[in-house]
Amino acid sequence: MVGLNHYLVLSTILFCIGIFGVLTRRNAIGILMSIELMFNAVNINFVAFSKFVTPTDFVGQIFAIFVITIAAAEATVGLAIVLLIYRNFKGINVDNINIMKW
């Protein structure tokens, strides 16, 4: 029987992959994608907890839907920024984008 722990392990693995991606990718698009992975790990957690802890209501599911929506919006903004960065810096390698210091 697949229990809550399985879901949590999955989501942890997924989240860790996302973190790893965010911290190591040099491509801005890759970072965005890794962030999407982390969102999804969170969504799994929401749904799993909702299913196993409070099966009577659907708060977790509703939250997951919100997160997906926000994630879509965020991806849009993020891609727009990436596009602008691409135009200004002729590339999307984040190593070059270090003007946000001091």
Partner 1 sequence: MLANAWIIPLLPLIAFVAIVFFTNRNQKLSSLISIGAVCLSFVISLFVIASVLKNPVASEFELTWVDLPGFKIKVGMLIDPLTAVMLFVVCTVSMLVHIYSVGYMAGDPRFSRFFSFLSLFTFSMLGLVIANNFLEIFIFWELVGLTSYLLIGFWFEKKIASDAGKKAFITTRTGDLGFIIGILILTTAAGTFNFKEMFHAVEAGHIPFGLLTVGAIFLFAGAVGKSAQFPLHVWLPDAMEGPTPVSALIHAATMVAAGVYLVARTITIYLAAENAALVVAIIGCFTAFLAASIALVQNDIKRVLAYSTISQLGYMIMVLGLGGFTAGSFHLYTHAFFKALLFLGAGSVIHAMHTNDIWDMGGLYRKMKITAITFIIASLSISGIFPLSGFWSKDEILAVASHYHNPIFLIVGVLVAGMTAFYMFRLCFVTFFGQPRDQEKFDHAHESPKVMTIPLMILAFLSIVAGWVGIPWLKHGYCSFVFHHEPHHVEPNFLLMIISTLVALSGIYLAYAMYYKGSISPEKLKAKFAFPYKVLYNKYYFDELYHAVIVNPLLKLCDFLFTKLDVGVVDWLVNGVGNFTVFLSDVKEWFDSRIVDGAVNGLAYVTKGIGSGLRRVQTGQLQNYAFVIFFGLVLIILFKLS
Q: Is the dihedral of CA 26, 82, 97, 34 positive or negative?
A: negative
Measuring CA to CA, how many Å separate 91 from each of 31, 96, 98? 14, 9, 13
Place of tokens 């790893």: 20
Query: With respect to partner 1, which residue has the nearer C-beta, 67 or 94?
Result: 94
Question: Residue 85 in 3-state DSSP?
Answer: helix
Q: Does 99 bind partner 1 (CB under 8 A)?
A: yes
Among 8, 17, 22, 68, binds partner 1 (CB under 8 A): 22
Q: Does 1 bind partner 1 (CB under 8 A)?
A: no
Give the range of 22-30, 43-51, 54-62, 75-83 binding partner 1 by CB under 8 A: 22-30
**Closest distance of CB 57 from partner 1, Å:** 29
Calpha distance 87→34 (Å, rounded): 23
From residue 34 to residue 73, the character string flagging contacts with partner 1 as x (rule: CB under 8 A) and all else as - is ----------------------------------------
Neighbouring residues of 10: CB distance < 8 A, sequence distance ≥ 6: 44
Q: Where on the chain is the footprint of partner 1 (CB under 8 A)?
A: 19, 22-25, 31, 94-95, 97-102
